[in-house]
Amino acid sequence: MDFFITIFNEALYRPIFNFLIFVYNVIPGRDFGIAIIIVTILLRILLFPLAHKALKSQKALQELQPKIKEMQGKIKNKEEQAKKLLEFYKENKINPFSGCLPILIQLPILIALYRVFLHGLDPSSLDALYPFIQNPGTINPTFLSIIDLSKPNYWLAILAGVSQYIQSKATFQKKDKPGQGMLNSDFSKSMTMSFLYVMPVFLVVISWKLPAGLPLYWVITMLFSWGQQVIVNKGFKKTLSTVDK
């Protein structure tokens, strides 16, 4: 187990932490909160191409929607429907999902990021700096000279819940998301509904006691994926109107 922790620390935690401190050193004003925002957005931009690929797949799917509907009518069994649908994707060389591997690669990165924001403000964490990164000595934990990011902040905790709600709402807005309609069985529909309301509350409760750097990270992440979702939804609407014509 120690072996895995060492690999995780050296391959992910330290590079991200060093990058964060580098950004902190470079930006004017020395604001740890702004550094968190910049690093979060940069990481999200790096992961953007995959989301874009999904968007293109969604558009292609929209054109095949009538065929899918027809197929859906023929088969009643939900399990069979899901199976046939994925076979159909394969035949048409499209798939709205980018697969499990990309998620499993990203998760450790996000966990590392989370740990960096959690421990980044401990004075001892500066020992993990590479020799070529300037040691700032002490880190100023105040964000916009109001919020102390090393201590819990109730406002940011609530904001984390609100942004999570806005993001999920945008994701689950369309009932007939192409391709997913069939995969969303009754079970996942009820899951979705409880998820929409339970998750934000859960997030506020968790964030209540955590250093405010983490809810700040979560707010930025959620706002970014919300923006991404809005773009995808717009693209979806556009193709829908051209199909109608």
- Give whichever of 21 and 232 is closer to other proteins, judged by the CB atom: 232
Place of tokens 């999904």: 54
46 contributes a contact to other proteins by CB under 8 A: no
1 contributes a contact to other proteins by CB under 8 A: no
* Smallest distance from other proteins to CB 167, Å: 7
93 contributes a contact to other proteins by CB under 8 A: yes
Half-sphere exposure for 226 (CA within 13 Å, toward CB): 16
Beta strands in 66-174 (DSSP E): 142-143, 147-148
Burial of 136 from C-beta contacts in 10 A (0-12 / 13-18 / 19+): middle
Enter the tokens of residue 107. 């998760």
Which one among 5, 26, 111, 191 touches other proteins, defined by CB under 8 A?
191
Contact flags string 204-223 toward other proteins, x per CB under 8 A: -----------------x--
* Smallest distance from other proteins to CB 148, Å: 27
Distance CA 21, CA 133 (A): 8
How is the chain split among helix, strand and coil, in percent rounded to 5? 75, 0, 25
86 contributes a contact to other proteins by CB under 8 A: yes
CB distance 143 to 159 below 8 Å = no
Positions in 112-151 near other proteins (CB under 8 A)? none
232 contributes a contact to other proteins by CB under 8 A: yes
Footprint of other proteins (CB under 8 A): 50-51, 53-55, 58, 82-83, 85-87, 89-90, 93, 95-104, 106-107, 164, 167-168, 171, 180, 183, 188, 191-192, 195, 199, 221, 225, 228-229, 232
